[in-house]
Structure 1
């Protein structure tokens, strides 16, 4: 069952007495204090289930500072080896250009071929569409609102290079403004294969476009 609300806080574990604890209610999208009746002070929705949710530490309030490892877990080419080879060929081609212009004109053709091949490999290893998707996910991780969610599917990727080094695909559902939303996120972490459908998790989503979401934390 998808929990109807989510918890965020500035520090420490969420408790009813904590003055820093805040709820982000998906029914009304307002950040409210934890009340003694465990209800949203704006729309009156029940928050009791979230108190009992065992999801680990909730996401901090935005903006969030991501570590280098967390960014690399999201911002990565579909094929690291092909992207590295393309970068190498492009670099060699660029270095050959001034030599060809100044000393050896016949090197101009190989320089253009190597540079063009390098650019092609880099583009196919990290397509623009994949870059846009990853950029949106990073934006959600930094600025998105938190929501309680539930895993619905854990699928292993048998061809990791096709999906940015992903070894597992995690699908989940969460609620925003009373609407059930579906999300999916590839993961390069083998430990995520141990997750099971029905597990309670945290996600973050963009308030202006809830269809853009990401798992929190962006790592195992």
Structure 2
């Protein structure tokens, strides 16, 4: 049974065409051909796609929204609506109809509760850290280890898949995972070579690059 975060057999037995000897070979230690010892770095880099640009990186609005989003958009929108109505009722209650003060307070309070439960502080902190990694993080070669599908996207910040990966920083193997709202990510497979970015001051904070398919 595969343990959480461990590379799959497909990733361990990955084969590539060596540009030096033209044989289909296993990827040996330090990204070298198991037959001739030639470097496979460029081939592996091509398989991973274009590496991340140097920081700071400019993120598009769609890329930011893919990360910065409430756990429940509908509940957050309802809370925002109720809070707005409550706030707008306050000056009317103060100037003209004081009995409106009670329902204004109730609506405003309910709106605040809905907004906070729809977007918890811990989730916002996690998303801020991930955005920092996407903008300022250093690039690292990584590998997908697990792809899980979320069947109720509205419960998990619109996520339709959760991607787990491993990468190495200064010889230390690190694990990461990241939710994705992109349907195409459901089709990805363990063993796929990818890029991640991580914060140099805390490599445990990382994110997949690019933040969209």
- The TM-score by the shorter chain falls in which range? 0.7 to 0.9
Equivalent residue, structure 2, for 1:184: 177
Which of the two has greater helix per residue?
A: 2
List runs of 5+ in structure 1 lacking aligned partners.
4-26, 28-37, 39-45
Equivalent residue, structure 2, for 1:70: 63
List runs of 5+ in structure 2 lacking aligned partners.
1-6, 13-29
Give matches, 1:56-135, under 5 Å. Answer: 56-135=49-128
Q: Normalising to structure 1: TM-score of the pair?
A: 0.78
Give matches, 1:1-220, under 5 Å. Answer: 48-53=39-44, 54-220=47-213
Q: CA–CA distance in 2 between the matches of 1:139 and 1:152?
A: 23
* Regions of 4+ moved over 3 Å: 46-49
Q: CA shift at 1:163, angstroms?
A: 1.6
Aligned length: 180
Q: What's the C-alpha RMSD, in Å, of the aligned pairs?
A: 2.0
Q: Normalising to structure 2: TM-score of the pair?
A: 0.81
Instruction: Show CA shifts across 1:51-100 (max 9, x none).
Output: 11111111000000000000000000001111000000000000000000
Instruction: Show CA shifts across 1:18-49 (max 9, x none).
Output: xxxxxxxxx9xxxxxxxxxx9xxxxxxx9933
SS in 1 for 2:158: coil
